[in-house]
Amino acid sequence: PCTARPSRVPAVVKNYFQLREFSFTLRDDVYLRFQSFSSPQELERELQKINPYKIDIGAVYSHRPNQHNTVHLGAFQPQEKELVFDIDMTDYDDVRTCCSSADICSKCWTLMTIAIRIIDRALVEDLGVRHRLWVYSGRRGVHCWVCDDAVRKWSPALRAAAVEYLSLVKGGADTVKKVTLSHPVHPFIRRSVDVVEKYFEEYALLGQDILGSPEKWDKVLALIPEDILPSRSCSKKDSVQRWELLRARVERSRPGGRAAAQGPCYADWEVMLQFCFPRLDINVSKGLGHLLKSPFSVHPKTGGWGVWGVWGSPAPTPAPVHSPNPPDYKKTSLAPYVKVFEQFVEGMECARRGEKIRQSDLQGDF
């Protein structure tokens, strides 16, 4: 609950809504950018009129986006935007065998759970972020909207630095070893390993069976230094037992079995992170002009709602409605998701009022 006392300072004059870009995708992939509206009611009327297949949200601009062609060249610039992360399951195709491309299942969805836990913890504890909204993309991944006032004003360079800090898997399809750790290991990586360890057996050893055949075994062994490689004619029966053997050999080398110049070996951590660590697209996050699918928007190719929850779980049952004329959404399974969103917005409003009161008190001290 909000504990800030009523604000003594005037409300923000800047009309973010009128300066916010909306984008619509219509039938036959007709794409309309730089749409903006004077009020939510005007937006609602336009949605009812054109019935878009997809809705994307962009930045807050210096001028109204629908008037960008009338503004002097170079004057129309994005001013603010949430820091966004788009985690797409297709970027994990080299480490999942249950599905590929846009297909997902309960086995590989564990990767999204790991990504959310790693990124969300780092945003809060390492980068000092407070207001985060995680949303299912509606098709094959998740989106994160970071909405703190200060973060929305970050430059592209700051956004790129944040994504770089949160990135570890490097290299494209032709790169065999995509994670390389050096001593001492950064605390962010150590905490990420702690998260991955909770899911690694379930996802990689049981769900994907990454050591279950000679071909898969060789793929993992290609990531291990030759001086600690186990025999390829391993007598262990399954992926769990083979991983225990492999990890025991790595851990025995860690206390000092390797040359001091090389430093300790973290090959087991490198394998775990290569198979499970979040994969981020820096271009999505660093650019203020990038658009992202709106929460609550229906994905045009799957019919999936952009809401928050556990993939594959049944839609929640709406709570009983006692008011005489409730909004239509409260009669549907969307009601609890809307409530979560309302609570998220209320939290931001409370924080903003508290900050304005603090600034007003500081000014009064002089």
Question: Which among 21, 56, 82, 268 is annotated as catalytic?
Answer: 21
pLDDT of the residue at 315:
54
Check residues 104 and 12 and name the one with the higher pLDDT: 104
Q: Which of 28, 80, 82, 86 is catalytic?
A: 86
Active site residue 88: yes
Confidence of residue 138 (pLDDT cuts 50, 70, 90): confident
126 — pLDDT class (breaks 50, 70, 90):
very high
pLDDT digits (tens, 9 = 90+) for 210-227: 999 988 989 999 999 888
Q: Considering 28, 42, 80, 88, which one is annotated as catalytic?
A: 88
**Is 21 a known active-site residue?**
yes
Structural contact between residues 210 and 220, judged by C-beta atoms closer than 8 angstroms: yes
pLDDT in tens, 75-87: 999 999 999 999 9
Residue with tokens 């190719």: 301
Q: What is the pLDDT of residue 99?
A: 92
Do 308 and 232 touch, CB atoms closer than 8 A?
no
Q: What pLDDT, on a 0 to 100 scale, did the predictor assign at position 207?
A: 95
Min mean pLDDT across 75-84, 114-123, 188-197, 254-263 is at 254-263
User: pLDDT-based confidence at 12, cuts 50/70/90?
Assistant: very low
Mean pLDDT within 89-100: 93
Query: Where residue 316 falls among pLDDT bands split at 50, 70, 90?
Result: low
**Which pTM was predicted?**
0.87
Told to judge if 46 belongs to the known catalytic residues of this protein, a careful annotator would answer no
Mean residue pLDDT across the chain: 87
Residue 175 has a pLDDT of 93
Q: What is the pLDDT of residue 46?
A: 97
**Arithmetic mean of pLDDT, 235-247:** 88
> What is the predicted pLDDT for the residue at 73?
83
Band of the pLDDT at 320, cuts 50, 70, 90? low
